[in-house]
Chain A
């Protein structure tokens, strides 16, 4: 975090302590720390489940029978099927576990794509300004105001025609989410870039003769992307919700190709009326817990970044780390000696 840190303290502090999450974890106290830790734990469980899905799941996501014969449809939870089976005859537990993988793939692809494109556009647009900037801002605002899921539906139709294989489905969902997210990254990065490019240190760099490209990558980008961990977690959770929404409307991935929670919920819609609860509660709970974890982390990061909302430590145990606050847009980045010092060390790590 490039902020007001005195040179000596920078030297003493180890790099890992200044990594986004670690830094906030050290900074938090009490309830806020509890929320952050709970969120991180949920995220950890999600990641581990996704990685070790083949080991954890009793059956394959598309498996309909084992050595003993077909599973049967809508079977009650039992020893063989801890969470029962779906109307299509799949094992609920296995599909919930495999679903973490699909969700993770979509998050990774969507967030990577939208960050790369959004940050790049925001940086270029904010730095150079002009007519391109104005056009991009109007387009971004138009898309930003539009209901995300509707746009995602259109993009999903275009990409996959509505039905798809595993990777086709993952990319369809991820790209449709990307289209919706790009404006968000674009707006934040652009706003920051516009502010930062007028700072004294950028002017100094220009006076020295640094090229536009160097200023953009070394000086502006580093400072304009400080809020990204926050947006990233919030967008990851929105990606899951959009994927589930698409699946629920029938634009998910076919059950034989991969497990997807929203699709399973769609199939359980009629089960609910007849009192069959296990087909809907477990995939739904998986969505809620995953989004909850991501949102708790995102919320905590947001609160810690906002001086108005940050729970303050008691004056006695205020560590030096308190001075180092991740500043959100609208906050101040002092361009004084401290700011420059932070900037220089930051530049080395790019």
Chain B
């Protein structure tokens, strides 16, 4: 995570695109061939992660013993293991597992016997909602503050902002959440402690004609102002806790890049034409400095997902991360494996999309 933020400065490798040097040369500069190679690269990534996760998890023994061992008599346990096919050779299980994933089947949880994809459908929306809020917070906080820091380079505001950025990174997201909760929910009593909506609002949300499970959209469908504000109030603290984590990264990135672009020839030329410093910052140095952010967002997706697991647990935000923590407590490793594999696919695909956007915006990425 941290090394990626230093990446634009150090220029070591190309983390987001992850294309080996040999491929760069073969790319030949065309956008089409770049996109094709980048697309094909998704598959080995997913394959490696899924394979690693599968064999790691299986090396501990079969998941049914892990989840139910000691709670069921030995013969029933053996029966369920046989039923689920965990007594077959590992490699044939592996082939079945890969085949299942190709068809979108990530396995069935042991504790509540639901397909993992259904778990995603139920809880994925909540995580998506939280991540979007967090990204909004990160943008609103990180980018302007990063520009301010660059403008006041090496002076007091810069020092304060840089320490703030480091604090954002140094504070574990769950501790930030606990602090926010303590201050704003318990001591000041301004905002709700946990959950996605209060009981009254939740009942109303369930009556919606087309439930999306994205609380704010459902709330808008009810058209009830109180429900909308209730839902938004519940989102504030988790969004800030998770958003600040990413805001620190954006702040540092914008600062570094704006300082970099402020020193380039065309900014120098504009300055010599008499353009004011603040205008230089706003109009000239700012935009090119944003390009690396697009690439970094791709890497932030991974960070956000991890952060979401911890934030959701802190705030009982019933999303994928909260559910993952529940399955971990229940030792339901099929569910854990399924969710992790699913997240691997999501991360790989988002990284691809981000790379495509980066390539469309910045021709230099295409090689």
Contacts and interface: CB of A to CB of B under 8 A. Distances in A.
B121 to A, nearest CB: 20
B10 A145 contact: no
Interface stretch (A10-18, A44-52, A150-158, A340-348): A150-158
A274 B187 CA distance: 10
B contacts with A: majority SS: helix
Given A291-B169, A292-B167, A330-B12, A248 B21 contact: no
Contacts of B344: 146
B179 A284 contact: yes
Nearest to B344: A146
A2 B131 CA distance: 44
Interface stretch (A67-75, A164-172, A187-195): A187-195
A311 B18 CA distance: 32
Given A31-B154, A147-B343, A309-B9, A157 B336 contact: yes
Nearest to A329: B12
Most buried by B among A137, A146, A184: A146
A272 B1 contact: no
A287 B13 contact: no
Contact of B306 (A30, A34, A141, A245): A245
Given A141-B18, A237-B2, A244-B172, A157 B186 contact: no
Interface in B301-343: 302-303, 305-306, 309-310, 313-314, 325, 328-329, 331, 333, 336-337, 340, 343
Contacts of A287: 170-172, 175
Given A147-B347, A268-B178, A295-B166, A302 B302 contact: no
Q: Interface residue tally of chain B, by bracket? A: 35 or more
A134 interface: yes
Contacts of B333: 157
B1 A148 contact: yes
Q: Interface residue tally of chain A, by bracket? A: 35 or more
A323 interface: no
Given A150-B309, A150-B343, A157-B333, A309 B259 contact: yes
A55 interface: no
Contact of B187 (A142, A245, A275): A275
B45 A154 contact: no
A153 B336 contact: yes
A299 interface: yes
Nearest to B262: A308
Given A148-B306, A150-B306, A308-B263, A138 B48 contact: yes
Contact of B172 (A184, A230, A231, A245): A245
Contact of B166 (A162, A227, A292, A306): A292
Most buried by A among B15, B162, B169: B169
B77 interface: no
Contact of B347 (A146, A248, A269): A146
A227 B343 contact: no
Interface stretch (B52-60, B205-213, B219-227): B52-60
B196 interface: no
B175 A191 contact: no
B171 A187 contact: no
Nearest to A136: B20
A161 interface: yes
Interface string B153-190: 01000110011001101111011001101100111000
B57 A147 contact: no
Given A138-B45, A158-B59, A311-B154, A248 B10 contact: no
Contacts of A328: 9-12
Contacts of B21: 194
B152 to A, nearest CB: 11
A-B pairs, top 3 by smallest CB distance, nearest first, are A330-B11, A329-B12, A284-B175
Given A268-B178, A291-B171, 18 more contacts: A31-B158, A143-B49, A144-B18, A147-B305, A148-B302, A154-B56, A158-B56, A158-B60, A235-B2, A237-B2, A250-B328, A251-B328, A269-B178, A273-B181, A273-B185, A275-B187, A291-B169, A292-B167
13 contacts: A30-B154, A138-B45, A141-B18, A148-B306, A150-B340, A153-B328, A191-B13, A238-B2, A248-B313, A249-B313, A281-B182, A284-B172, A302-B9
